[in-house]
Chains A and B, each alone.
Chain A
Amino acid sequence: MLRPLKHTAKQTGIDPGSALNTLTNRIGWVLAAAFAAVLLLTPLIALFGGVFIEGGAAWQFITETLLADYSKNTMILIVGVGGLALLLGGSLAVLVSLYDFPGVRWLRPSLLLSLAIPSYIAAYAFVGMFEYSGPMHQLFLAFGMQGVHTNIMHLPGLIIVLALVLYPYVYATARVALESRYNSYIESAKSLGMSNMRTLRKIILPLLQPALAGGVFLVMMEVLNDYGAMKYFGIPTFTTGIFKAWFSMGDLVSAVRLAFLLFIIVILLSAGEGFYHRKHKVSESNRSSLPRRTKLKGVKAALATTYAVGIFTISFAAPVSYLLWLFSYANRSRAAEEWFSLASNSMISGLSGTLLVLFFVLLTQFVRQLVRNKMTFIISRSISVGYTIPGAIIAIGMLIIASLVSDIWTGVLISGTLPLLAFAYAVRFAGVAYQPLNAESEKRSGRLFEAAQSLGKNTSTLLRRIFIPLTAKGTVMAASLVLIDILKELPLTLILRPFNFDTLATKAFEYADDELLAQAALPALSVILVGTIPVLLLHRSMKST
């Protein structure tokens, strides 16, 4: 969930009369798009249905002994990580956007980098660093600090680790807001004679609230999507509960019910975010220019640099260096040999998922341009629903579908097959492709479509000559973002992958979970390296705003 999911403004301005007319002509296309949209919603529909399935051998045990912990820990994690990420991301954004101090130029992009580290990798890297044999403990010993307790495998430790890799969501949304919109407000405050502190307190922070809330919302959604870090830290939550019910207890019905409860949390959170945004809707000045940064001097400058460099070091430089150091202890010939098979598995599942995503999103976007009415708007939007839903929930929905299929057609097993995994990826990540493709086709092809239609061009000509060429750039962008997200994905892959099918992500997690830290280093570093690509793209897009 890298790109902030900003709900784009109303795009439903249509003329109902002419829309009806074109609708009857192009009914086939609309039906195909509607079918595609419904298909992508099937895991959720299945989940709703699954709640009413009788049985669930372990359910009583789960409700009596585990559910309270799941709820408590999940809530503490959401609030704790959200709060800490808000503090880190918000303070860093204000610091680098409004102030000038040594190193600020390279710190601005660098502070985004920890976003490239998936939480399950961060978890084991941090635990490893603070272990008895790890570098931090060695450092403490070197300074003569014997017996310093450095166990971080507890709830507060997990909160800190997750906040360190997730704070860039808040940092990025706050920075975009600060740098694109607030300059005239800041100047206005200054021309009214307001001091810097007063401007910050009275103007900047209140105005920044919606952006900060948006960032925190993304952080919380990522916390709900996490499985690997929680499992590694041994903290029982809804996600780890779903895995336990399915893998350890073999109880799909209980897993479905837990997934449903998690889904309700997601819905509540989204609703809360939506409500907040409506309440804090402000019409903003549309002038945009970079704020003139105040130059910090002396102690203040030193403190600012130390703080920002410190966060960068702890959140990114240290874990990555540690993984590199670990890799030097790995059996390198075995690691290299294995790497090729892991990477090719990652690419096979990744590319098939990406192709499916492109098919679904391009189809619905094309129909949206072809027939501009409320229905096609809803169809094209609904594609991105899966992006807000944790992978574990989608995976459980897919398992229900798979078991239904084998109930209806005896002997047909789709569970644990590559097509099912690819389809689940499409459900989860279609929203990633929706953003760039929708932006591009709304921006560029809308008017041209109308022009071509008025010249009497038929539908296939529209598709071939206008839609595909105009969205080509967006398609490439969307495809690479989707592919990268799939390569990093863990919980969904763990549940739905074919037997003995290991990807870079699953193997990095499994080795770490089995305490084979050195072996985990290479796949983990590969995933981080791939993950830096969208971070760099994010940085570029932030610069251009």
Chain B
Amino acid sequence: MSFLSVENVVHQYGSNQVLHGCSFAIEKGESLALLGESGSGKTTLLRLIAGFERPASGSISLNNRILADDKTFVIPEKRDVGLVFQDYALFPHLSVRDNIAIALNGRSKQSPEDWLRNVGLAGFEKRKPYELSGGQQQRVAIVRALASHPQLLLLDEPFSNIDESLKFTFRYELQKLLQRTGLTSIFVTHDTKDALAVADRIVVLKDGEVRQFATPEDVYLRPADRYVAGLLAPFNTVRNNGEYIDIIRAEHCTITEPEGARVQGVARSTMFQGGHYLANLEVDDAHWVVRSATSIERGVRCGIGYDEQHILTVKNR
């Protein structure tokens, strides 16, 4: 049995069913990303694992212990599951030190000071949470969750309040921290880059349904369906066979001379992406997005080339 397994979990708020039988399982020490747009049910799934919601049916188990099924329901405080809230939820009336001390509750030989030193916050013990920057607050929140010695760490949108310029460093720091502690973790994100960079496995959620559960490489290179493919990067439809479609990623296409090209189009717009351009071409009555090294003038007719081996066949849904 896997370390954490979620089987056929259904959840509804009133008559509104938000999760329709979600299943996945991860091993000890792995890091899982729940990836989806807002309203996909990813936060609900996280809250079900934390124990703040009770599944309508299905089961959740951690380390050979059932946390929730038809008969059993373990309350959040007895689950050994740590949760880092999106808004951090640091106790505003307690100092940084006491926020951690309250989680330690005399369980550990390590002092709050030790924990804070670990994340570079030595000297901040006496501060109140509101006296810290957003990034510092988040580090305190993570350390606080770790201090309660959970078997599983959950992080709700850990990247959402981080400045774009700091994200790279933060992804790296988080990955390092997770690897060092060897902790099993699940984080929720709507940003594919975060999921691809940090997670060992990804669950892609759409409208309360698991569309794909795989490694980051598989999700990117072998998307299960059209939705997953589009969530990760722009693509073009080569052939539509009804139930399945053949697609090609923008980055696998090249701009060629129009003569003799298998696809021809007229440039409509180009967007600079930093290292390259993305050109939008009108092909018959469809649009193709193609990666290009140079900018293409509007109205220029050009060809689009690609290698058959890069074509992906995905479910058309």
Contacts and interface: CB of A to CB of B under 8 A. Distances in A.
B153 to A, nearest CB: 10
A194 B88 CA distance: 17
Interface string B102-113: 110100000000
A190 B89 contact: no
B52 A185 contact: no
B83 A188 contact: yes
A198 to B, nearest CB: 8
A295 to B, nearest CB: 11
Q: Which of B52, B76, B88, B102 has the most CB of A within 10 A?
A: B76
B129 A188 contact: no
Contacts of A206: 93
A277 to B, nearest CB: 13
Contacts of A282: 92-93, 128, 130
Contacts, number: 77
B85 A194 contact: no
A287 B47 CA distance: 15
Given A285-B87, A287-B87, A292-B52, A192 B92 contact: no
A163 B91 CA distance: 32
A286 interface: yes
B75 A191 contact: no
A192 B144 contact: yes
Interface size class of B (residues with CB under 8 A): 20 to 34
B89 A285 contact: yes
A184 B88 CA distance: 9
Interface in A179-206: 184-185, 187-195, 202-203, 206
B81 interface: yes
B87 A192 contact: no
B247 to A, nearest CB: 39
A286 B87 CA distance: 8
B101 to A, nearest CB: 10
Contacts of A184: 85, 87, 89
Interface size class of A (residues with CB under 8 A): 20 to 34
A202 B102 CA distance: 9
A149 to B, nearest CB: 46
Contact of A188 (B91, B128, B130): B91
B259 interface: no
Contacts of B35: none
Contacts of B129: 283
Contacts of B92: 207, 282-285
B224 interface: no
A286 to B, nearest CB: 7
B257 interface: no
Nearest to A190: B76
B77 interface: yes
B76 A187 contact: yes
Contacts of A185: 89, 91
A193 B77 contact: yes
A517 B231 CA distance: 76
12 contacts: A187-B50, A187-B76, A188-B85, A190-B51, A190-B76, A191-B82, A193-B80, A193-B103, A202-B102, A282-B128, A282-B130, A286-B87
Q: Which 7 A-B pairs have the closest CB atoms?
A: A283-B130, A282-B92, A188-B89, A191-B83, A190-B76, A184-B89, A192-B103
